[in-house]
Amino acid sequence: MTANTRSSAPVLQLDHLTRRRAGRRAVEDVNLQLQRGQVLGLLGVNGAGKSTTLSMVAGALRPDSGTIQLNGEDFLEYPELASRLIGWLPERAPLWPELTVCEHLDAHGRLRGFKAKALRDARTAIIERLELQPLAHRLAGVLSQGQRQRLGLACALLHRPALLVLDEPANALDPVQVAALRSVIREQAASGTAVILSTHLLTEVTAVCDRVAILHEGTLRHDGLVHGNDHAALERTFFDIAMHGNASTARAA
């Protein structure tokens, strides 16, 4: 497995990724590359295929065809790569309601093969970074939606993944929490982690992303750089694709 690893390889490479769901093509022929430290915003209307794409990238769903490479290694052949390379925060952060915040982090650490000492250190670090100290011994079942998102993010970051997959992480967060989330994403990118961020919010993309990819009806219709705060250009591209299926009438964002 490691013999195939190339240090210069992109963190994530999707080739011709295709997946059917409920009898229709949810994702079709998606090609994408993501380098270390890049933050990719994945945009699209509801049902565009964002969550399906992210589920496949996170290893929770297998594609019907196409390949996923993580650091140059075939992820479909070695699904165990997920345990060390990927941190995933699904939409609505699924948690075990009967476990405390600390127990969640411990469980995620053990599932990823952490030894006791390393787990303790990683848990302490992430609890401090995401300011979860007051919640550490609280049951997940009684957390607010924003607190659940923070715990989900902590679980995704615990093992310092090479690729962070965030599915609409700003949902249900207040403006202060959104700002904190942006800060964490920028910090992760600065440390070399590649980030994919699925969102409905164009402001989210212009605020933290280097690149933007727009999915429509399961296919990738746009993949380009985000230029500073050119929110209007991105908006035109997005609405052109959402309403007409292509970005031909709009300037590239």
- Residues in contact with another protein by CB under 8 A are 19, 21, 52, 55, 58-62, 79-84, 86, 88, 90, 92, 94-99, 103, 107-108, 110-113, 155
To another protein, the closest distance from the beta carbon of 240 in angstroms equals 30
To another protein, the closest distance from the beta carbon of 194 in angstroms equals 16
* Nearest by Cα to 242 from 21, 49, 48: 48
To another protein, the closest distance from the beta carbon of 181 in angstroms equals 20
Distance separating alpha carbons of residues 77 and 71, to the nearest angstrom: 13
To another protein, the closest distance from the beta carbon of 225 in angstroms equals 29
* Nearest by Cα to 192 from 73, 84, 39: 39
- The stretches of the chain forming alpha helices (DSSP H) are 50-58, 82-85, 101-111, 116-129, 145-157, 175-190, 202-208, 231-244
How is residue 44 annotated by DSSP? -
To another protein, the closest distance from the beta carbon of 242 in angstroms equals 24
194 contacts 69 by C-beta, under 8 angstroms: no
To another protein, the closest distance from the beta carbon of 107 in angstroms equals 5
Shorter beta-carbon distance to another protein: residue 97 or 192: 97
To another protein, the closest distance from the beta carbon of 62 in angstroms equals 5
Shorter beta-carbon distance to another protein: residue 104 or 211: 104
Shorter beta-carbon distance to another protein: residue 44 or 161: 161
Shorter beta-carbon distance to another protein: residue 89 or 226: 89
Shorter beta-carbon distance to another protein: residue 103 or 230: 103
Shorter beta-carbon distance to another protein: residue 99 or 178: 99
Distance separating alpha carbons of residues 156 and 164, to the nearest angstrom: 7
* Nearest by Cα to 155 from 144, 164, 142: 164
Identify the bridge partners of residue 67 per DSSP, sorted by sequence position. Answer: 15
Identify the residue whose tokens are 């303790």. Answer: 120
Shorter beta-carbon distance to another protein: residue 115 or 175: 115
* Nearest by Cα to 253 from 217, 220, 206, 189: 206
3-state SS, residue 223? strand
